[in-house]
A and B are shown apart, each in its own frame.
Chain A
Amino acid sequence: MATISLKDVRKDYGRNPVIHGISLDVANREFIVIVGPSGCGKSTLLRMVAGLEEITSGTIEIDERVVNQLEPRERDIAMVFQNYALYPHMTVFENMAYGLKIAGKNRTEIAERVSSAANMLELGPYLTRKPRALSGGQRQRVAMGRALVRDPAAFLFDEPLSNLDAKLRVQMRLEIKALQREVGTTSLYVTHDQVEAMTLADRLVVMNGGRAEQIDTPMNVYLKPASVFVASFIGSPAMNIIEARVAAESRGVVVAGRTIDLDHLRLHLPAVGAPVLFGIRPEHIAVSETEKVDLLLTVSAVETLGADALAHCYFEGGKKGRDFVVRLPGTRTVRVGEHLPVVLDRAATHLFDPESKKRLN
C-alpha cells in the first residue's frame, strides 16, 4: 500500500530525449494504466519507476520516499513482465518463493504465503512443475503470483497480457482487476491495448511521443479527449476528425459545404472563417429520420460486426479516399454506393485547434 508520485520526470538517451517531463500522482490503492502506441516511452517510464532505467531529471517517490538513487530491490515493488521472466530452472513454488527467500523469511511463512497466493490464482496443482511445462496462461499466473506473494508497496505491469491469445486475455484482464481490488495494492499498468486500458484503469495516462497527453478517468478520456491524438487513439473505430471552418456569426462550423450549428460551443469557437478540426465518434452519428440533415454521405464500404455495422463513407461530392465512419445498428442493411443523410449528436462533438492539436471545447 503506497502512493507513487512522479515530478517532471525526464529521460534522455544520449542527446535524444525520450520522456519529456511527466508528472503524475498515484493515490493509494489506485490502478493507473499507461497507454500509448509502441515507442511512446510508456515502458521506459515504468522501468524508471522500477529502477531498471536511470532517471535523467525529476523525482520519483514511492510511499513518500524519493527512490531516484535506489536499486530496484530497495524500492519495495513487484513487476510482471511481458515475457513473464520466470526462472526456467526453478519450479513454480521456487519461482514464487525466490523473493521471500532473499528477504530472509522462514520456511513456514514462505510456504504459507506461496500457498495462499497459489490458491488465489488456482496454481495449487502446478507448484512442483517447471515453467516450460506450463501453458501461456499458467505462466502468466505464476508471474502474477510471484508479484503477489511479496506483498509489495506497488505492482508494476509491463504489457502482461500481450503474449496471450484473445480469449485468455479477456479472462486474465478480469482476474487482474478482481485481484487488484481484493489486495488493494497500488498499480501501474502499461499496455498498448485501449480496451485493456479502458476496462482496467481507475485513471488513464495516455502517452504519445514521450509526453502524457491526458491523465484522467477512462470515461473522461473518452468523452473529453484533450488532444487530437487522444481522440483518435482511444475509441474503436477511431473518432472522425475533419478539417472545417468556423461559420458566419460563429453559429457553428462548415464541413463539406454544410453548416453544422453548434450554438452551445459558441464561446469555444475561434474567429469566423478560421480553420478548426471538428471531431465526432462513429457511434454519435445516426441516419436521419426527419427533414433535418447535417451531412450527406455516400457509402464506400461496409463492415458487418453482428451487433453493429460500420459504414465507411465519403462526403457527397468529396474525394473518395477520405474515410468517414458511421456506426449503425447491425439490423440496418446498407449497400455500397447508398446515400446516407445523417445527423450528429451535438453533445458529443469535439473541436480541436489545428495548430496545437489541443481541445477547444
Chain B
Amino acid sequence: MNRATFPHKFLPYLLLLPQLAITVVFFYWPAGQALRQSLLREDAFGLKTQFVGLSNFKRVLADPAYVNSITVTVVFSIATAFISMAVALLLAVQAEKVIRGKTFYRTLLIWPYAVAPAIAGMLWLFLFNPSFGTLAYPLRLMGLNWDPLLNGPQAMTMIIMAASWKQISYNFIFFVAGLQAIPRTLIEAAAIDGATARKRFWTIVFPLLAPTSFFLLVVNTVYALFDTFGIIHAVTGGGPGKTTETLVYKVYNDGFVNLILGDSAAQSVILMVIVIALTAIQFRYIERRVHYG
C-alpha cells in the first residue's frame, strides 16, 4: 500500500480537525456529560448538586420498572428483528423469481425506508386507532376486541408491526444483494442432486446467506433498541401503563418528562455499554465473515 506523504507534520491533523470536532462536540461531550451526571444527584429545583457515586446505578438496576423495561426491550427487539428479517427474506426470495419488471418491484419494496419514523408511527396509529382506524374495524368484525390504548399486548403488537414494517425495506435490499451473490450453478447442482426447492433453500441458499443475515441481525437489533423511539413516541408513548416502555424510551421519560436526571443519565450509561458490546460483536464476527465484492 502506498503511504501518502505530507509536506507538513500538522497538515494531516488539520485535515482531520473538522471530523474530530464534530465527533467531540456531538459524541464525546454529551457522553462525558452523561457519565458525570450519572454519578451526581440533582435536587428537585436544580439548586444543589451532590456526588453520590454509584448509587444511581444501584437504584436504577433495583427498580422493578427498569427490569420491566428490559423485558419489554428484549421482547420488542427480538420480535422486530425477527419479523422484519423473515418478511424481508421472503420478499427477496419471491422478488428473485420475478422476471418482468424486476426493478419496478424492487423500487416499490424499498420505498417504505424513506418514510420518517414518526410519520410511519402516525400511519399505523391512524390505521389501527380503535375508534376510527381503517383496519381496526375489520379486526373488530372478526371478533377481536381491538383496543391498543388499554390492552398492553395489543399495543406491543402494534409497535412491533410498525417498527418491522419500516425496517423490511432495508433488510430487503441486503437480502436481494446476498441472493444475487450466490452462484446459480450451486442451486442447479443441488437440484440435480435431488433437492426440492424447499430443501435447496434451507441447505444451500440459507447457509450461504449467513454473513448477510448475521450482519442484518446486529443492525436490526441496534435499530430496534435505539432507532424506534420515534415510532413508540408517536404510537403508544410507552403505554398503556409501561407495557411498551423500552430502555431508550425510559431514558427520555425519566430525564425529560420526570426530570430525574441522575437516573436517566445512569440508564444512558448502561445503554452505552450495551452499544459498545454490540459493536464489539459486530467487529469481531462480521468483519471476518462478510466478504465485500
Contact = CB atoms under 8 A, between A and B. Distances in A.
Contact of B188 (A72, A87, A88): A72
A102 B203 CA distance: 10
A308 interface: no
Given A102-B194, A150-B193, A81 B185 contact: yes
B193 A146 contact: yes
A150 B193 CA distance: 8
B192 to A, nearest CB: 5
Interface in B192-239: 192-196, 199, 203-204, 207-208, 210
Contacts of B20: none
A89 B193 CA distance: 16
Contacts of B210: 89
Contact of A77 (B190, B192, B204): B192
Interface in B256-274: none
Residue of B183, B203, B207 most packed against chain A (CB within 10 A): B203
A73 B191 contact: yes
A78 interface: yes
Contact of A79 (B192, B195, B207): B192
B192 A50 contact: yes
Report, as a range, how many residues of chain A touch the other chain. Answer: 20 to 34
Contact of B189 (A71, A79, A89, A103): A79
B260 to A, nearest CB: 51
Contacts of B194: 73, 99, 102-103, 150
A72 to B, nearest CB: 4
B191 A71 contact: yes
B186 interface: yes
Interface in A84-118: 85, 87-89, 98-99, 102-103
A102 B191 contact: no
B191 A72 contact: yes
A52 B188 contact: yes
A240 to B, nearest CB: 40
A288 interface: no
A189 to B, nearest CB: 16
A304 interface: no
Contacts of A85: 183, 185-186, 188-189
Nearest to B193: A99
Interface string A49-76: 0111000000000000000000111000
Contacts of A51: 191-192
A28 interface: no
B142 to A, nearest CB: 40
A98 B191 contact: no
A99 B190 CA distance: 8
A99 B193 CA distance: 5
Given A73-B196, A102-B194, A81 B189 contact: yes
Contact of B191 (A52, A87, A103, A150): A52
A36 to B, nearest CB: 21
A83 interface: yes
A77 B199 CA distance: 18
Contact of B199 (A50, A83, A88, A102): A102
25 contacts: A52-B188, A52-B191, A71-B191, A72-B188, A72-B192, A73-B191, A77-B192, A78-B193, A79-B188, A81-B185, A81-B188, A81-B189, A83-B183, A85-B183, A85-B185, A85-B189, A87-B189, A87-B190, A88-B186, A89-B208, A89-B210, A98-B190, A99-B194, A102-B195, A146-B193
Q: Which 5 A-B pairs have the closest CB atoms?
A: A99-B193, A85-B189, A85-B185, A73-B194, A102-B194
Interface of A: 50-52, 71-73, 77-79, 81, 83, 85, 87-89, 98-99, 102-103, 146, 150
Given A73-B191, A146-B189, 12 more contacts: A50-B192, A81-B188, A83-B183, A85-B185, A85-B188, A85-B189, A87-B189, A87-B204, A88-B186, A98-B193, A98-B203, A103-B194
